[in-house]
Amino acid sequence: METDRESILSALFESIAIDISMISDEIKRTALEPGQICASGGGTRNEVLLGLIATVLDRELLV
């Protein structure tokens, strides 16, 4: 049972890491600074990143 749980958590965190990497690449591509306002989301880079991470977590935990 513990192995199944560990496998699920490992897959979850691997998926999140991949998504965060893609998000980070997009932030670098758009050259946003930490406090700069994002036109698409209306928040700072950090707020947008946290929002995207929360979305990824919600999606992964609901599956």
- 28-41 residue pLDDT tens: 776 666 566 555 55
Q: What average pLDDT score do residues 13-26 get?
A: 74
**Which tokens belong to 26?**
């997009």
The pLDDT assigned to 39 comes to: 56
Query: Residue 36: its pLDDT value, please?
Result: 62
In the chain, what percentage of residues exceed pLDDT 90? 0
User: Which band of pLDDT confidence, cut at 50, 70 and 90, is reported for residue 18?
Assistant: confident
Kindly report the CA angle at 27 between 16 and 62, in degrees rounded to 5? 25
Residue 27, pLDDT score? 67
